[in-house]
Structure 1
Amino acid sequence: MTAKPFGSPQQVADALEGVKQHIEKLDNPPVPDQLHQALRRKVGESENEEQITEYLIEADYVSVDSNEVVNINLTEFMTDHGIKREYSPLEQFERQEELASDFAEHLVEERDICLVKDSADHHPNKSSVYQYNIDNRTWEPDEGRIVDLTEKFLPHYNNSAFESKVRRSIWPKHGLLFEELGVGEDKIAISNGILELKENNRRTIEKDDYVLNKLPVQLRGGIEGDYPQIWEEFLKQSTNSESDRKKLQEFAGYCLMPWTAKHEKILLLLGPTDTGKSVFLETIRAMLGAENTAKERLKDLADTRWAVANVKDKIANIHNDLDAQGIDDTGQIKLLASGEPMMAEHKQVPKFEVKPTAKHLFAANKSPSANDRDSAFLNRFLTVIFNNTVPPEEQDKDLLEKLTEQEVLNGVFRWALEGYRRLRQQGEFTSELSPLATTELWQEFGKGPERFVSKNFEFRSQASDNRQEEETWRVKTEDAYDYYVRWVRKEGIYEEHTRSNFSSIVYDMAGIKRSRQDGVAAFGGVRWKEGVKQSFDTSQEEGSGG
Structure 2
Amino acid sequence: MRDPEEIPAPTNPMAVARYLAPQWRNENGVLTLRHWRTTWMFWERSYWREMDDQEIRASLYKKLEHAEYVAGLDKDGHPVIKPWAPTKRKVSDLMEAISAVTHLRPSVDAPEWISRDGLSRDSEHSYTHGVESPIVACTNGLLRVQDRELLPLTPGFFNLVSVPFDFDPDATAPTWEQFLKQVWPDDENSIAALQEWFGYVLSGRTDQQKIVLIVGPTRSGKGTIARILTNLVGKGNMAGPTLAGLATNFGLSPLLGKSLAVISDARLAGRDGHQVVERLLTISGEDTIDVDRKFRDPWTGKMPTRLMILSNELPNFGDASGVIARRFIVLNMEVSWLGKEDTDLTDKLAAEMPGILNWALDGLARLEKNGHITEPPGSADAVTTMQDTASPTSAFVRECCDKGPTHEVLVDDLWDAWKDWAEDQGIRPGSKAMLGRNLQSVVPQAKRTRPRDDSGRQIPTYSGIGLKTTARNGESPDSTRLKGYGSSLSRAETGLSPLWAQQSEAPKCSVCNFPFEPLEPGQTAHPGCEAA
TM-score for the superposition, normalised by structure 1 = 0.61
Partner of 1:544: none
Tell me if 1:351 matches 2:298. yes
> How far does the alpha carbon of each residue in 1:355-406 deviate from its partner, in whole angstroms, 9 at most, with x for none?
12221111001222222153421111111101111231x221221222122x
Partner of 2:89: 161
Structure 1 residues 325 and 144: alpha-carbon distance in aligned structure 2, compared to 1, 3 A threshold: same
What is the one-letter code of the residue matched to 1:399? L
Partner of 2:343: 397
Partner of 1:146: 56
Distance 2:160 2:206 in 1: 18
Distance 1:96 1:362 in 2: 51
Distance 1:279 1:528 in 2: 38
Tell me if 1:316 matches 2:264. no
Structure 1 residues 197 and 117: alpha-carbon distance in aligned structure 2, compared to 1, 3 A threshold: same
Structure 1 residues 205 and 462: alpha-carbon distance in aligned structure 2, compared to 1, 3 A threshold: same
Q: Determine if contact 1:275/1:388 at 8 Å carries over to the other structure.
A: yes
Q: Give secondary structure in 2 for the equivalent of 1:256.
A: helix
Q: Determine if contact 1:459/1:525 at 8 Å carries over to the other structure.
A: no
Per-residue deviation at 1:288? 1.1
> How far does the alpha carbon of each residue in 1:445-466 deviate from its partner, in whole angstroms, 9 at most, with x for none?
x89xx9xxx9xx9972644999
Tell me if 1:336 matches 2:274. no
What is the one-letter code of the residue matched to 1:236? K
Q: Determine if contact 2:331/2:379 at 8 Å carries over to the other structure.
A: no
Partner of 1:215: 163
Q: State which of 179, 203, 208 in structure 2 corresponds to 1:263.
A: 208
Structure 1 residues 107 and 140: alpha-carbon distance in aligned structure 2, compared to 1, 3 A threshold: farther
TM-score for the superposition, normalised by structure 2 = 0.62
> How far does the alpha carbon of each residue in 1:258-278 deviate from its partner, in whole angstroms, 9 at most, with x for none?
1x3211100000122111111
Q: Determine if contact 2:253/2:291 at 8 Å carries over to the other structure.
A: yes
> How far does the alpha carbon of each residue in 1:283-321 deviate from its partner, in whole angstroms, 9 at most, with x for none?
1111111111111223433x3463333323122111222
Structure 1 residues 157 and 147: alpha-carbon distance in aligned structure 2, compared to 1, 3 A threshold: farther
> What is the Cα-based RMSD across aligned positions, in Å?
4.3
Distance 2:346 2:177 in 1: 14
Q: Determine if contact 1:192/1:219 at 8 Å carries over to the other structure.
A: yes
Q: Give secondary structure in 2 for the equivalent of 1:148.
A: helix
Partner of 2:361: 417
What is the one-letter code of the residue matched to 2:140? N
Tell me if 1:431 matches 2:375. yes
> How far does the alpha carbon of each residue in 1:148-189 deviate from its partner, in whole angstroms, 9 at most, with x for none?
234324347443311222123213322223554645441121
Structure 1 residues 435 and 211: alpha-carbon distance in aligned structure 2, compared to 1, 3 A threshold: closer
Per-residue deviation at 1:111? 4.9
Partner of 1:520: none
Structure 1 residues 217 and 418: alpha-carbon distance in aligned structure 2, compared to 1, 3 A threshold: same
Distance 1:465 1:178 in 2: 49
Distance 1:238 1:311 in 2: 29
> How far does the alpha carbon of each residue in 1:33-62 deviate from its partner, in whole angstroms, 9 at most, with x for none?
xxxxxxxxxxxxxxxxxxxxxxxxxx978x
Q: Determine if contact 1:474/1:526 at 8 Å carries over to the other structure.
A: no
Q: State which of 199, 222, 230 in structure 2 corresponds to 1:253.
A: 199
Distance 2:159 2:281 in 1: 28
Structure 1 residues 131 and 478: alpha-carbon distance in aligned structure 2, compared to 1, 3 A threshold: closer
Unpaired segments ≥5 residues, structure 2 = 26-31, 66-83, 114-129, 443-470, 480-532
Structure 1 residues 356 and 525: alpha-carbon distance in aligned structure 2, compared to 1, 3 A threshold: farther
> How far does the alpha carbon of each residue in 1:309-362 deviate from its partner, in whole angstroms, 9 at most, with x for none?
332312211122212324223233222112121221221223232112221111
> 1:487-506 maps to which residues of 2 (within 5 A)?
none
Partner of 1:117: 36
Structure 1 residues 336 and 137: alpha-carbon distance in aligned structure 2, compared to 1, 3 A threshold: closer
Q: Determine if contact 2:329/2:379 at 8 Å carries over to the other structure.
A: no
Q: Give secondary structure in 2 for the equivalent of 1:350.
A: strand
> 1:173-192 maps to which residues of 2 (within 5 A)?
173-177=101-105, 180=108, 182-184=111-113, 185=130, 186-192=134-140
Distance 2:92 2:346 in 1: 47
Q: Determine if contact 1:267/1:361 at 8 Å carries over to the other structure.
A: yes
Q: State which of 308, 311, 318 in structure 2 corresponds to 1:364.
A: 311
Distance 1:204 1:115 in 2: 20
What is the one-letter code of the residue matched to 2:291? A
Distance 1:425 1:395 in 2: 37
Partner of 1:128: 39
Tell me if 1:104 matches 2:17. yes
Q: Which structure carries more helix by proportion?
A: 1
Q: Which has the larger radius of gyration?
A: 1
Distance 1:529 1:175 in 2: 65
Distance 1:423 1:153 in 2: 48
What is the one-letter code of the residue matched to 1:189? A
What is the one-letter code of the residue matched to 1:174? T
Q: Determine if contact 1:379/1:434 at 8 Å carries over to the other structure.
A: no
Q: Determine if contact 1:270/1:366 at 8 Å carries over to the other structure.
A: yes
> How far does the alpha carbon of each residue in 1:497-535 deviate from its partner, in whole angstroms, 9 at most, with x for none?
xx9799xxxx99999xxxxxxxxxxxx953335899xxx
Partner of 1:230: 175
Distance 1:269 1:528 in 2: 27
Structure 1 residues 356 and 432: alpha-carbon distance in aligned structure 2, compared to 1, 3 A threshold: farther
Q: Determine if contact 1:253/1:419 at 8 Å carries over to the other structure.
A: yes
Q: Determine if contact 1:270/1:384 at 8 Å carries over to the other structure.
A: yes
Q: Give secondary structure in 2 for the equivalent of 1:363.
A: strand
What is the one-letter code of the residue matched to 2:342? D
Q: State which of 73, 95, 99 in structure 2 corresponds to 1:171.
A: 99
Q: Determine if contact 2:24/2:33 at 8 Å carries over to the other structure.
A: no
What is the one-letter code of the residue matched to 1:359? R
Structure 1 residues 272 and 402: alpha-carbon distance in aligned structure 2, compared to 1, 3 A threshold: same
| Percent of aligned pairs sharing the same letter | 19
Unpaired segments ≥5 residues, structure 1 = 2-58, 62-72, 77-93, 119-126, 482-498, 512-523, 533-546
What is the one-letter code of the residue matched to 1:325? A
Structure 1 residues 480 and 333: alpha-carbon distance in aligned structure 2, compared to 1, 3 A threshold: closer
Distance 1:218 1:398 in 2: 23
